[in-house]
């Protein structure tokens, strides 16, 4: 099934320009982050989250970026688990 650049951008949570720049290999931002989102959102690759169970790589990347919140117990557990998780980009260079 074919998709337009706009449809792909929406699925990834990026702008049309990011997709266009990635396709032309001129994206100046975090290329690895875009590739991780592609693997999770479009290719269905998953990681085993110690808190949420199997989740897409794209969701893992989103969870890593969220700040600590003491008012939300689930968010606090995720924040602590993400710090030491082997899927954390800061620990392994990839999600």
Examine the domain organization and report whether 55 and 86 are in the same domain: yes
Q: What is the rounded distance in angstroms from the CA atom of residue 72 to the CA atom of residue 11?
A: 27
What is the C-alpha radius of gyration for the chain, rounded to an integer number of angstroms?
14
Examine the domain organization and report whether 35 and 57 are in the same domain: no
What is the pLDDT, as a whole number, of residue 57? 94
Examine the domain organization and report whether 60 and 40 are in the same domain: no
pLDDT grade for 92, boundaries at 50, 70 and 90: low
Count other C-beta atoms under 10 Å from residue 7's C-beta. 12
**Quick check: 26 pLDDT over 70?**
yes
**Quick check: 18 pLDDT over 90?**
yes
Q: What pTM was estimated for this model as a whole?
A: 0.78
Q: pLDDT per residue over 39-91, tens digit each?
A: 999 999 999 999 999 999 999 999 998 888 889 898 999 999 998 899 898 87
Examine the domain organization and report whether 52 and 83 are in the same domain: yes
Q: Residue 1 sits in which domain range?
A: 1-44
Examine the domain organization and report whether 7 and 39 are in the same domain: yes
Does an H or E element contain 15, and which? none
């Amino acid at each position: 099934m074919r998709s337009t650049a706009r449809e792909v951008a929406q699925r990834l949570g990026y702008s049309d320009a990011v997709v266009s720049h990635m396709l032309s290999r001129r994206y100046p931002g975090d290329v690895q982050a875009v590739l991780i989102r592609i693997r999770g959102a479009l290719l269905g690759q998953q990681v085993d989250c110690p808190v949420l169970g199997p989740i897409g790589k794209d969701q893992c990347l989103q969870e890593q970026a969220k700040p600590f919140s003491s008012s939300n117990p689930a968010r606090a557990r995720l924040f602590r688990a993400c710090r030491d998780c082997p899927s954390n980009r800061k620990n392994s260079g990839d999600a």
